Structure 1
Amino acid sequence: MAVAAPGDRWRALLRVVLAVGLAVILAMALPVTGGHAKPKPSPKQLRKELSELQKNSDKLIAEYYSSRHELQKVEKAEKAARERLRVAQADFERESAQLRLMAAEQYISGGHGAIPAMFGEIDLNGLALVEALTAEQGARLRGFTEVRDRHQRARTEAKTRADELSDRVEELADQKKAAEKVIDKMKDRIDRLYPTPGVRRPDGSWVPQLPSGPDNITPRMRLVKTLIAERFGVPYGIGCYRAIQDGGEHPLGRACDFMLSRGGAMPSAAEARRGDEISAWAIKNARRLGIMYIIYKQRIWHVGTGAWRGMSNRGGTTANHYDHPHISVY
């Protein structure tokens, strides 16, 4: 048997080392899941999640309504407490004026004791005035004491009710936010129950579709329009197909404008927020729904860029897309 030369042995050993090294590198590169992406949730899973969210939502909404009812009772009690304080304040000021007048008359008529010394700044709650006037005005002093105590109780009650009202308002706001979060999650699950129409290529892009139906838009655009209309309302209307060949997607049935005002007017603050919410939702769901780009507030967001980019001034509220988000699909 021939003996391998030293050089051959080293080359064979090097090949083994390289093979082992390559195997280790490949093993490290593969994900723990065996290289398979996490599967998308099935409609059955989505419906199960939606059912759980529905139960949680019903519970939160029930608590919210109960708290609203309690808040109404607290508001009524707080209003009554403020009214009692108003009456008690008026009584207190009237009785205080009467006591000052009595003290002044006592001093002018030559009264003695603590009254002359206190005349410059009379302490209505102090015992000195009470002792000085008890002999002649006991009944009025007792009445003033009752008014003073009633006034103090009214002030304390009003503050307590105001604090309780503040706490209830904060608690209700927290409950409302919690319920809104659950409702938003439910909306997301409902969105995902609708499969996006059309064929998606391996690189993530979408095969174009032909428009159909009386609205002359593609099935993919129709789904986006439907989801936005159901989720956000869009009270000023949605405009999609138009025959004018302007180089955009409207004549192709692949674009819709979600109006926030009428007649080219700037939208209200609330409607502008609606536009922000529609745009944010479209960005979040762009890849799943085949959305190509969004234009809003003289800016454009294109799938794959991840950021808004400013656009040139086209000369008007509508032309600059301040009164509507524009959404185009593939």
Structure 2
Amino acid sequence: MTAPLRRWSTPVVAVLAALAVFAGPLPASAAPTPPKPSGHDAQPTLLNDVIETKNREFVKAQAALRKSEKRQLELQQEFKRVQRELDALAPQVNEIAAQSYRTGRIGAVSMLLGAQTPDSFVQRAGALDELNMVNAKQLAEVNAVKARVEQAKLALDTEVRAQQRLTNDLNRDRVAAEKALDLVGGNGLTGGLVNATSPVAKIAPGRTGDGDWRPESCSENDPTTSGCVTPRTLHMYKEVKRAGFTRFVGCHRSGGPYEHPKGRACDWSLQNSGFSPWHNTDTRKYGNNLTAFLVRNADRLGIYYVIWNRQIWFPATGWKSYSGPSNHTDHVHVSLL
């Protein structure tokens, strides 16, 4: 259900209080299939799906690598066997080579011319030819097998190197995906229900040459109330809307400390009107994806901190458990520098 429109009066915690770590249970995921996000023609890839796909590819690559290594071992053994056969022929090969060296082609001719009769000439010629054929056949067979094994071994060496490169690439992809998931709060915060990528925001105004952000006054009309916001907050508001997050939002709020009265904070509801805690996949994923967009673009937007679903994120510290007046399960809070 959607709660009636109420004044978003939850104060934002101070920095020191926000950094305090209090462990608290996270709500569990509910409905199975979220609807397509507004402004998108197709369901975006969830980061959890990317990690699963990379790990499946990694497992297949490992199996292929083990298969290649096993086949390479078999071929190495076959190569050794053929090498032993070749070594066994070495005496005969050496004898043939020595004879050829001693007699050359003239020796063979002399042997034939030394025949006393035509019949003995034919017999000697036949014997010499048969010997040459036997020797040539044996050597050719051994050399052919040896060549095939060497070629197969070379091919498998190449395959193993390719598989190792693939394994290294998949490891890097898996680590990168895990880091990306950690950046947006990990499985504990998102339950895996967060898009693998976010649109890139335009850089906010007020960035100095050394990377700092110039102080800004509350000089712009707040599009969500009758109050004011800083130019940087207004830029963030427009970029979040441009990224497709169009549900209810409130920024300026009078009274109290922290960033709302200064026009440097906004509360992004999960509902089209009013505030109500996330209660299904749609509302939880909306909060996750909005948070992911803010965190991934924090350096471009000049973000101070983000609070969502009992967790708080600072650029300097990452995600920490949050305990405050509001557990922020009904909206995403963002403060600007």
What TM-score do the two structures reach when normalised by structure 2? 0.38
Higher RCO (Cα < 8 Å, 6 or more apart): 2
What TM-score do the two structures reach when normalised by structure 1? 0.38
